């Protein structure tokens, strides 16, 4: 059974810092991995999707990497801003058409 873990559970940083969020999964045979953002009381917004054949994806100040062999992914946020404050969730899909398995999330607070 695939399990997804995110570390740290919470992170508080001053504005402008670069930061890394970690995601690990127990079964390296994944189809893809996705990072989401969730604001309080809201749904999920997809940030980056990495296919199993890819090593990284970038969007603006966000960069996500994937190392399937070690069962790890990182989300790098450059020059953090207060508007980045949210909970970040990673999720893996094991096979095409299968469900998403979510981690518990990292609650990020960026202080002005």
Contact residues for other proteins, defined by CB under 8 A: 31-32, 34, 36, 41-46, 49, 89, 93, 96-97, 99-100, 102-105
| Residue nearer to other proteins on the CB measure, 79 or 95 | 95
- What's the min distance (Å) between Cβ of 16 and other proteins? 27
- What's the min distance (Å) between Cβ of 89 and other proteins? 6
- How far apart are the C-alpha atoms of 81 and 52, rounded to whole Å? 30
| Residue nearer to other proteins on the CB measure, 96 or 112 | 96
- What's the min distance (Å) between Cβ of 50 and other proteins? 11
| Residue nearer to other proteins on the CB measure, 35 or 80 | 35
According to DSSP, the residues that pair with 90 across neighbouring strands are: 35
- How far apart are the C-alpha atoms of 29 and 38, rounded to whole Å? 26
| Residue nearer to other proteins on the CB measure, 32 or 80 | 32
Exposure b/e, 85-108, CB count within 10 A at least 16 = b: bbbbbbbbbbeeeeebbbbebbbb
64 three-state secondary structure: strand
- What's the min distance (Å) between Cβ of 18 and other proteins? 25
Q: Tokens 């994937």: give the residue.
A: 66
């Amino acid at each position: 059974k695939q399990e997804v873990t995110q570390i740290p559970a919470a992170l508080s940083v001053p504005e402008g810092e670069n930061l890394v969020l970690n995601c690990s999964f127990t079964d390296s045979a994944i189809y893809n991995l996705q990072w989401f953002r969730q604001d309080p009381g809201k749904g999920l917004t997809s940030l980056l999707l990495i296919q199993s054949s890819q090593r990284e994806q970038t969007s603006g100040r966000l960069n996500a990497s994937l190392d399937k062999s070690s069962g790890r992914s990182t989300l790098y946020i450059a020059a953090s801003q207060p508007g980045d404050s949210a909970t970040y969730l990673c999720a893996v899909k094991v096979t095409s058409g299968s469900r998403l398995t979510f981690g518990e999330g990292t609650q990020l607070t960026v202080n002005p």
